């Protein structure tokens, strides 16, 4: 047994996680709970100071869980890259956004590799969790690490394991979500499987880092394409005078061959709006056009405009122009019960309505404020609902009193079907417009 495998078995391996955000911090906690000593490395002084104080800034990581791990010495944080020199296992969990032309931006990964490479020693395991295109680990990351003279598969070990974080999910979290894992060589796979096998409940082994990278993109492309389909169905139903939600609910009763997806104001978050474009970009380099991805992206990115038009039409039907209208948006987080506005469709909806001349405010118990178009917006109290010309439900937070919203508002545009039960009442139904 190699020294590194023995260290992992004995829980003596020192672990460093590069990037302690929505993916990295929950991973730090699970690795520490498994018995390892973990250092979170991040360039954000704010995050480092918070972890050092035992205070969590991630909703899915309670401070009462993180604090004792810090106090016991199992978890620490630093913005000094020299901490990487002490690590036996380095896990990279940095953002991988798209640039303005929707091409992959892997600069955060490469910055992490640049910090790690000169400090990496023999018998180090490196696991990349950041989403990227198939072939990146093999074609880009490994050559950068091998510039040190250390050979992957012999001196150091490299694997890819896509993050599957679902913020706010009450059932599945880092430890109990099956962990896909691909090593760059059989030896790399052996070492990586030993490490994650000590932390996660279930490992799904695939034959290569390329396959593991493709798994992540398939998962989110599947969702993006099906959401795009049902968003287009919603547009069709409106033109046909049909209730979209009634059609989907009836179709969902089929016990085989159908999986319900639901329309909405657009895609949000750090995965579904972004990841399919990594695959599309890669295929373009191979002279292939990923048509489903491109079309789904077109439909999904157009949904905030559909919502804005639906709001304008609803106001028009009540002889009120959107210009000068008072609009309240309910919910700006990208999905229910979380405090994250990244890529949220609500931001586009607000901007489109403001561009049409509406006076827009919002209420969201999870998002006290955010920056939009150079100005700061703050959540307003959920009172005087009758003072707004229309209330637009964009994010369906579970703690919201929608019965009160419908009762007190003049007009409600519901993009999430939260008013389904309320529409049985003719008086309520008369003031509700849905997708």
> What CA–CA distance (Å, rounded) separates 315 from 39?
54
DSSP character string of 81-149: GGGGGG-SEEEE-----B-TTS-B--HHHHHHHHHHGGG--SS-EEEE-S---TTHIIIIIHHHHHTTS
The length of the chain is: 435
- Contact yes or no for 224/297 (Cβ under 8 A): yes
- Contact yes or no for 89/3 (Cβ under 8 A): no
> What CA–CA distance (Å, rounded) separates 403 from 406?
5
What is the pairing mode between strands 412-414 and 432-434?
parallel
> What CA–CA distance (Å, rounded) separates 59 from 281?
33
**Can you read off the two tokens belonging to residue 195?**
């490490």
C-alpha closest to that of 393 among 373, 417, 422? 417
Question: How would you class 1 by CB atoms within 10 Å of its CB: exposed for 0-12, middle for 13-18, buried for 19 or more?
Answer: exposed
- Contact yes or no for 90/124 (Cβ under 8 A): yes
Query: SS3 sequence, 214-248?
Result: HHHHHHHHHHHHHHHHHHHHHHHHHHHCCCHHHHH
DSSP annotation of 380 reads P
Positions marked active-site: 271
> What CA–CA distance (Å, rounded) separates 270 from 342?
6
DSSP bridge pairs for 104: 98
Query: SS3 sequence, 239-273?
Result: HHCCCHHHHHHHHCCCCCCCCCCCCCCCCCCCCCC
**Can you read off the two tokens belonging to residue 217?**
């993109």
DSSP annotation of 175 reads T
Neighbours of 410 (CB within 10 A): 16
Q: State the Rg of the chain over Cα.
A: 24
User: What's the distance, CA 359 to chain centroid?
Assistant: 30
Q: What letters, b where the CB count within 10 A reaches 16 and e where it falls short, cover 248-264?
A: beeeeeeeeeeeebbbb
């Amino acid at each position: 047994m190699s020294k590194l495998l023995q260290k992992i078995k004995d829980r003596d391996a020192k672990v460093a996680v590069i990037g302690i955000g929505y993916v990295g911090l929950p991973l730090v906690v699970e690795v520490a709970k498994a018995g390892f000593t973990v250092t979170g490395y991040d360039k954000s002084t704010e995050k480092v100071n918070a972890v050092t104080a035992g205070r969590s800034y991630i909703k899915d990581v309670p401070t009462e869980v993180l604090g004792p791990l810090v106090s016991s010495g199992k978890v620490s944080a630093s913005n000094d890259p020299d901490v990487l020199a002490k690590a036996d296992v380095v896990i990279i969990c940095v953002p991988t956004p798209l640039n303005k032309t929707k091409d992959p931006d892997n600069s955060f990964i490469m910055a992490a590799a640049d910090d790690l490479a000169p400090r990496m020693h023999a018998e180090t395991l490196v696991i990349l969790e950041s989403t990227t295109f198939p072939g990146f680990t093999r074609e880009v990351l490994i050559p950068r690490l091998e510039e040190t003279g250390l050979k992957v598969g012999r001196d150091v070990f490299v694997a890819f394991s896509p993050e599957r974080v679902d913020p706010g999910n009450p059932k599945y979290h880092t430890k109990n979500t099956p962990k896909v894992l691909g090593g760059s060589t059989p030896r790399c796979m052996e070492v990586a499987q030993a490490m994650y096998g000590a932390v996660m409940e279930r490992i799904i082994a695939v034959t290569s880092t390329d396959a593991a990278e493709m798994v992540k993109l398939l998962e989110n492309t599947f969702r993006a394409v099906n959401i795009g389909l049902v968003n287009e169905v919603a547009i069709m139903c409106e033109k046909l005078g049909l209730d979209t939600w009634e059609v989907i609910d009836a179709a969902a009763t089929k016990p085989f061959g159908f999986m319900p997806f639901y329309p909405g104001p657009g895609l949000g978050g750090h995965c579904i709006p972004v990841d399919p474009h990594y695959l599309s970009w890669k295929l373009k380099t191979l002279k292939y056009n990923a048509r489903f991805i491109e079309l789904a992206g077109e439909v999904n990115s157009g949904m905030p405009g559909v919502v804005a038009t639906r709001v304008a039409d609803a106001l028009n039907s009540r002889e009120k122009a959107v210009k000068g209208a008072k609009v309240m948006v309910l919910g700006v987080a990208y999905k229910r019960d979380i405090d994250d506005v990244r890529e949220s469709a609500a931001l586009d909806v607000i901007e489109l309505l403001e561009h049409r001349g509406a006076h827009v405010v919002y209420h969201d118990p999870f998002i006290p404020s955010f920056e939009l178009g150079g100005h700061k917006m703050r959540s307003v109290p959920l009172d005087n609902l009758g003072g707004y010309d229309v209330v637009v439900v964009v994010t369906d937070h579970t703690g919201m009193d929608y019965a009160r919203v419908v009762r007190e508002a003049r007009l409600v545009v519901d993009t999430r079907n939260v008013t389904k039960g309320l529409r049985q009442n003719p008086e309520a139904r008369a003031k509700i417009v849905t997708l």
